[in-house]
Copies of this chain bind each other. A is one copy, B any other.
Amino acid sequence: MTTAYLDDLHVGQQFVSGSHTVTEAEIIRFAREFDPQPFHVDVRAAADSFFQGLVASGWHTGAITMRLLVQGELQLAGGMIGGGGELTWPLATRPGDTLQVYSEITDIRLSRSPPDRGTVTLRSETRNQHGEAVQILSARLVVPRRSGVSS
């Protein structure tokens, strides 16, 4: 696994992450701290909710996706630094789901000022064990150019 600069990347490059199985306890612990709604923290109340069962906070799915990306094949010079992006949660993450992230570079833009970096758009689909997408994130990442980096 090498560290990639902007110059090393091209549109269409694909990456697959490791996987993570999400437990009920993890879902409840995250949600108690950050998203304390009944369908994220209370199994019984969740059964009667919109989701008809306990589901992970979307921010939890996002955070797990981030860890899988950070530990994944694409290691960027300077780290994985996101300026934002578009996010959808087509399906909820449920206890026992095993998540894996499939990413593809969909756009690369050089920065004029400063010229030592650029923006890479990375589209990452987080899929469960049935191959269904629970999150699609098109993130804009700041990536340095090789020539712009002083030793």
Contacts and interface: CB of A to CB of B under 8 A. Distances in A.
B88 A86 contact: no
Contacts of A64: 34
Contacts of A82: 58, 89
A70 B36 contact: yes
Interface string A57-69: 1111011101100
Q: Is the interface of A mostly helix, strand, loop or mixed?
A: mixed
| Copies in the assembly, this chain | 2
Contacts of A62: 59, 62
Interface in A28-47: 30, 33-39
A63 B35 CA distance: 7
Interface residues of A, number: 36
A50 B148 CA distance: 13
Interface string A114-148: 00000000000000000000001000001000000
9 contacts: A30-B63, A34-B64, A49-B78, A50-B142, A59-B62, A59-B63, A83-B88, A84-B86, A84-B88
